C-alpha cells in the first residue's frame, strides 16, 4: 500500500475571555492533501484560518496526489481549504482502511464560554465524510467527542451548524474531518468556510444603584449523555433543597438528581416518551407527612410495545413504527423514596386525536404547583388545527368538538379531580380548564404578592405573548395571536377586540396580552424574583427568558400588579423591532433559555441548552 505522510500548518484564531489564541500544527493521515494559498489570518476574531501552502506538505505519492492553487471567490475572509483523496483500489480498502483525518491543533476551552461551530462544505465522490469535535482533559487525554455531521457519500454542497457543549472536565478540543477513499474514484472536499464563535452570557442591566450588589453569571453544571456526548439536560428543573435539584432528559425520559453539582449515576425514573417534546414538565411539593411528591408531564408511548427509549433517534424510529397509535400526553404523581420515583398515580390523560400526522408539536410543558396546592399544567394545541376531529372549542372553533385537555392551562387536584365545580363548566375534562385558547406555552408563574397567574405563549412567526391569566382567561387562539388575526402562519390584520370567540356561556373572558413581540423570540420561562439577593429594586419583579436569542428580559409591574410598566416605544405593549428591547434586557448571550428558577438560596438559576447557570452577587 502506498501511503502519504502529510504535515500541515493549521492556524486557528479564537477569542476566549479577551485573549487571542493563534493555534498551529496538525498531522493528517494517509490519502488526504489539503491546501490554501491564502496566508492571511482572518480579520474576524471568531473564525478559522487554515494556511496550506504547497511548501507545508510532504508528498510521498506524486503519482496519486496533486496540489493545485485555489482562488478565494467567496465572502469568507479566508481562502477555501481543499482536500484531494486518491482512489481506493479494492472494496476492502474503501470500507476498512484507516481513516484519513485533517485536524486543528488543541484549542483551549473556557468552561464559561458557549461555542457555535459553522461549516460550509462541498464534496465530490467522497466516502463516509464526516466531522467531529474531540474533547480533551487538562492532560490532553481524549474524554469524548460529538459529530458535527455524520457520514456523507457522493457529491454534495451543504452548510452545517453545531452547538459545541464540552464536558465539564474539558480543557481543550479539536475540530477534525474524517474520510475514507472512494473505490476507483478520485475524491475531493472543500471547506469553504469554517467558523468557531464563542460567546459568554453577560449581564446588561444598568439599573443597579448604590445599594445593589455586583452580579455575575457562573455555569455550574453541564448535562451530557455519557455515551453520545449530546446535551440532554432540559427542558425543566425543580429544586428539592439547597444544591439539590431534579433535571429532566426530554428525549430519554429520564429524571436525574444533581447533588452539590454532581449528577447521581442512576436516574430516579426512566419513562417511555415520544418526541418531539417527550418528558417536558416537572414540579415538586411536600405532602402532609412531609414526603416529597414529584409530578411529571410527558408524551407517553404505548407500553404494549415494550422496550426503553433513550435517544431522540430511538424515539423517532418508534414514532414511525407506531404510526398513529400513541398513548398521548399524561401527568403522573410519584413519591420520592430512596432516590427512586415510585407509586405512580395518573392524574390526567389526553388522548392523541391528531390522527393524520406523526410527531405532533405544541405539547406545551410547563408544570407548576399553585398556592392552592393544585397542579397547573400548560398544554398546547398539539397541532389540533391539522385535523377537523381535533379542532375543539378550547381553540375557539365555535363548531368544534368539546374540549379534551388541549390548548389550555389545566388545574388538577393532587387526587386527580377538578377543583370545585370547575371554572368553565362541570363536564369533564372542561372542569379542569383554568384558561384556554392557548397555542403553546413553556412558562407560568404565580405573582407572590397578588397570587395572580402569568404565562408566556409562543406564536407562529409573530405574536409571542406575556399574559395575565385570570380564572376563565381566553388567550384567543386560533382567532387571534398577539394583537393580530392569523393569516396562515403569518401575521394578518390588527384585531384588538376579537368578537367570534368561544366563551362557554359567558364564563370565559378574553383579554389581550400585556406584552407581545412582532418578531418571534420564543419566550419560555417566566419567573417572579421573590428574593432580595439582587437588591430591593428587583424584588418580586418579573424575569422572562427566550429560546431564540438567549435573552433574559426584566419587567417592573404597575402598582396593582395587573400590567407591566412599559416606557418609550414599548408603551403600546408591542416590541416592533429588536432595537426596542434594549432597555428591558437584563442578560444576554445564553444559547437558548428553556427554564429559570429561584433557588432556595435566593439566586436565579438559568437552564440553557444543557447547561445550568447561576446568577448571583460577586462574593
Q: What percent of the chain has pLDDT over 70?
A: 78
3-state secondary structure of 599: coil
Cβ proximity of 438 and 381 under 8 Å? yes
Cβ neighbors of 7 (< 8 A, separation 6 or more) are 26, 27, 28, 56, 57, 58
Q: Report the mean per-residue pLDDT for the chain.
A: 81
Position 297 pLDDT exceeds 60: yes
Mean pLDDT of 468-485: 96
Q: Using CA atoms, how far apart are residues 347 and 345, in angstroms rounded to an integer?
A: 6
Q: Does residue 169 have a cis peptide bond before it, meaning omega lies within 30 degrees of 0?
A: no
Q: Which of 219-223, 427-431, 504-508 has the lowest mean pLDDT?
A: 219-223
Position 583 pLDDT exceeds 50: yes
Residues 374-423: tens digit of each pLDDT: 999 999 988 767 677 778 999 999 999 999 999 999 999 999 999 999 99
578: left (phi over 0), alpha (psi -120 to 50) or beta: alpha
Mean pLDDT of 584-608: 95
Give the dihedral of Cα atoms 605, 607, 608, 609; nearest 10 deg.
160
Looking at residue 595, what is its pLDDT? 96
Cβ proximity of 597 and 240 under 8 Å? no
Looking at residue 309, what is its pLDDT? 58
Residues 70-88: tens digit of each pLDDT: 433 333 445 577 788 889 8
Q: Using CA atoms, how far apart are residues 301 and 327, in angstroms rounded to an integer?
A: 5
Looking at residue 100, what is its pLDDT? 81
Q: What percent of the chain has pLDDT over 90?
A: 52
Looking at residue 34, what is its pLDDT? 40
Mean pLDDT of 317-334: 70
Q: 37, exposed or middle or buried, with CB in 10 Å at 0-12, 13-18, 19+?
A: middle
Helix (H) or strand (E) holding 94: helix 91-96
Cβ proximity of 22 and 104 under 8 Å? no
Residues 259-283: tens digit of each pLDDT: 998 889 899 999 888 776 789 999 9
Q: Using CA atoms, how far apart are residues 31 and 178, in angstroms rounded to an integer?
A: 11
Position 29 pLDDT exceeds 50: no
Cβ neighbors of 206 (< 8 A, separation 6 or more) are none
Specify the higher pLDDT residue, 599 or 181. Answer: 599
C-alpha cell at 118: 459553522
Please, which pLDDT band fits residue 39 given cuts at 50, 70 and 90? very low
> Does the reported pTM lie above 0.75?
yes
Mean pLDDT of 454-474: 97
Question: Closest by alpha carbon to 520, among 548, 480, 494, 501?
Answer: 548
Q: Using CA atoms, how far apart are residues 492 and 393, in angstroms rounded to an integer?
A: 22
C-alpha cell at 381: 394545541
DSSP-derived letter for residue 95 is H
Looking at residue 231, what is its pLDDT? 53
Please, where in the chain does CATH 2.60.120.260 lie? 6-199
Position 570 pLDDT exceeds 90: yes
| CA 11 distance to own-chain centroid | 32
Residues 138-169: tens digit of each pLDDT: 999 998 888 899 899 999 999 998 878 777 78
C-alpha cell at 497: 377586540
- Pair type for strands 215-222 and 202-203: unpaired
Please, which pLDDT band fits residue 321 given cuts at 50, 70 and 90? low
What's the residue count for the chain? 619
Fold exhibited by the domain 6-199: Jelly Rolls (2.60.120)
Looking at residue 210, what is its pLDDT? 67
Residues 110-137: tens digit of each pLDDT: 877 778 888 889 999 999 999 999 999 9
Position 322 pLDDT exceeds 70: no
- Pair type for strands 515-517 and 574-575: parallel
Please, which pLDDT band fits residue 324 given cuts at 50, 70 and 90? very low
3-state secondary structure of 564: strand
Position 42 pLDDT exceeds 50: no
Amino acid at each position: 500500500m502506498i501511503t502519504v505522510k502529510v504535515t500541515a500548518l493549521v492556524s486557528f484564531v479564537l477569542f476566549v475571555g479577551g485573549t487571542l489564541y493563534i493555534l498551529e500544527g496538525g498531522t493528517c493521515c494517509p490519502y488526504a492533501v489539503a491546501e490554501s494559498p491564502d496566508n492571511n489570518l482572518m480579520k474576524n476574531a471568531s473564525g478559522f484560518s487554515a494556511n496550506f501552502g504547497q511548501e507545508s506538505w510532504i508528498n510521498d505519492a506524486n503519482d496519486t496526489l496533486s496540489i493545485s492553487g485555489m482562488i478565494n471567490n467567496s465572502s469568507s475572509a479566508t481562502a477555501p481549504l481543499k482536500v484531494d483523496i486518491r482512489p481506493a483500489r479494492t472494496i476492502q480498502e474503501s470500507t476498512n482502511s484507516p481513516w484519513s483525518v485533517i485536524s486543528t491543533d488543541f484549542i483551549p476551552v473556557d468552561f464559561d464560554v458557549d461555542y457555535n461551530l459553522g461549516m460550509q462544505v462541498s464534496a465530490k465522490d467522497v466516502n463516509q465524510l464526516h466531522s467531529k469535535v474531540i474533547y480533551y482533559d487538562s492532560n490532553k487525554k481524549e474524554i469524548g467527542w460529538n459529530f458535527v455531521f455524520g457520514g456523507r457519500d457522493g457529491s454534495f454542497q451543504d452548510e452545517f451548524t453545531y452547538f459545541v457543549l464540552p464536558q465539564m472536565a474539558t480543557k481543550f478540543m479539536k475540530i477534525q474531518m474524517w474520510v475514507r477513499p472512494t473505490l476507483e474514484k478520485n475524491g475531493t472536499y472543500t471547506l469553504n468556510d469554517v467558523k468557531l464563535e464563542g460567546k459568554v452570557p453577560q449581564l446588561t442591566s444598568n439599573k443597579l444603584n448604590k445599594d445593589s450588589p455586583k452580579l455575575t453569571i457562573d455555569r455550574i453544571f453541564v448535562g451530557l449523555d455519557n455515551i453520545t456526548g449530546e446535551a440532554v439536560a432540559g427542558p425543566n428543573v425543580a429544586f428539592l433543597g439547597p444544591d439539590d435539584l431534579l433535571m429532566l432528559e426530554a428525549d430519554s425520559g429520564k429524571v436525574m438528581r444533581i447533588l452539590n453539582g454532581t449528577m447521581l449515576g442512576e436516574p430516579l425514573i426512566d419513562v417511555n416518551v415520544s418526541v418531539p417534546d417527550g418528558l417536558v414538565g416537572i414540579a415538586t411539593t411536600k405532602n402532609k407527612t412531609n414526603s416529597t411528591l414529584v409530578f411529571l408531564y410527558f408524551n407517553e408511548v404505548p407500553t404494549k410495545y415494550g422496550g426503553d427509549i433513550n435517544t431522540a433517534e430511538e424515539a423517532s424510529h418508534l414514532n414511525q413504527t407506531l404510526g398513529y397509535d400513541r398513548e398521548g400526553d399524561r401527568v403522573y404523581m410519584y413519591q420520592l423514596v430512596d432516590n427512586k420515583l415510585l407509586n405512580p398515580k395518573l392524574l390526567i390523560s389526553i388522548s392523541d386525536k391528531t390522527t393524520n400526522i406523526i410527531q405532533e408539536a405544541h405539547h406545551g410543558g410547563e408544570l407548576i404547583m399553585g398556592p392552592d396546592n393544585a397542579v397547573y399544567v400548560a398544554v398546547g394545541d398539539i397541532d389540533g388545527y391539522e385535523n377537523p376531529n381535533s379542532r375543539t372549542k378550547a381553540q375557539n372553533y365555535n363548531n368544534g368538538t368539546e374540549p379534551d385537555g388541549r390548548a389550555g392551562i389545566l388545574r388538577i387536584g393532587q387526587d386527580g379531580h377538578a377543583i370545585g365545580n370547575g371554572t368553565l363548566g362541570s363536564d369533564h375534562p372542561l372542569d379542569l380548564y383554568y384558561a384556554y385558547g392557548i397555542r403553546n406555552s413553556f412558562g407560568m408563574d404565580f405573582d407572590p404578592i397578588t397570587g395572580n397567574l402569568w404565562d408566556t405563549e409562543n406564536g407562529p412567526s409573530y405574536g409571542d405573548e406575556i399574559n395575565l391569566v385570570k380564572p376563565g382567561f381566553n388567550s384567543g387562539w386560533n382567532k387571534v395571536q398577539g394583537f393580530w388575526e392569523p393569516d396562515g402562519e403569518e401575521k394578518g390584520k390588527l384585531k384588538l377586540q376579537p368578537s367570534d370567540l368561544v366563551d362557554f356561556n359567558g364564563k370565559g373572558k378574553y383579554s389581550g396580552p400585556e406584552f407581545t413581540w412582532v418578531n418571534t423570540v420564543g419566550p419560555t420561562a417566566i419567573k417572579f424574583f421573590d428574593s432580595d439577593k439582587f437588591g430591593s429594586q428587583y424584588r418580586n419583579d418579573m424575569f422572562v427568558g427566550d429560546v431564540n436569542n438567549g435573552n433574559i428580559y426584566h419587567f417592573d409591574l404597575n402598582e396593582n400588579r395587573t400590567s407591566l410598566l412599559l416606557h418609550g416605544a414599548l408603551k403600546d405593549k408591542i416590541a416592533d423591532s429588536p432595537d426596542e428591547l434594549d432597555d428591558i434586557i437584563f442578560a444576554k448571550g445564553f444559547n437558548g433559555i428553556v427554564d429559570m428558577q429561584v433557588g432556595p438560596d435566593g439566586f436565579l438559576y438559568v437552564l440553557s441548552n444543557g447547561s445550568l447557570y447561576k446568577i448571583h452577587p460577586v462574593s
